[in-house]
Copies of this chain bind each other. A is one copy, B any other.
Amino acid sequence: MPTISIVYYSGGGHTAVFAEAVAEGAKSVSGTSVNLLRIDGKDIVEGRFKNDAFLATLNASDAIIFGSPTYMGGPSGQFKTFADATGGIWYQQQWKDKLAAGFTVSAGTSGDKLNTLEYFFILSQQHGMVWIGTGVLPYATGQINRYSFSSGAAGQANQEPVTEKPDAEDKATGAHLGRRVAEAAVRWAK
């Protein structure tokens, strides 16, 4: 039974809503176990993230989906301190051959979201992981993948209540990514 973990940071809560949609999608694939891990600012002391149980859960996963708001053109500082804390895991290549994917939420319809997704990709490649994107054509309007990204899933939210944004289409895009990664994890399992 493949385990899919979603590790994400959320400031105002919009990325958390998106992460829950990704988790729902992953859970919809039978025979999978899903963990939702939110990075907590309290675990960051003087700019260094430390939470051994958190990393142990990721080490025991078959697929890891990275999520963060796009802040100032990249993943949030909080997410990056988490990424830096995986240096020891990297050195031992403990995540090698696990599946990886990513998602991001920001205020602009497009903006520099791609740079955040590309960072998740580069992080995954340093870890020797195998990357899964959205695998769905972009559409200028409607349906899913409204913002036309391929490398990962994207949502849009500004200062609206989290009950409004990300909206239903964005959440469906997140659920699609979660389902796709879970299906790949079943196929990839030896």
Binding site for B on A (CB under 8 A): 41-42, 44, 46-49, 71-78, 80-84, 86-87, 90-91, 93, 96-97, 107-115, 118-119, 121-126, 128-138, 140, 146-151, 154, 156, 158, 184, 187-188, 190
Contacts and interface: CB of A to CB of B under 8 A. Distances in A.
Contacts of A150: 73, 111-112, 122, 125-126, 128
Contacts of A119: 73-74, 115, 119
A51 B114 CA distance: 29
B47 A72 contact: no
B84 A130 contact: no
Contacts of A84: 71-72, 76-77
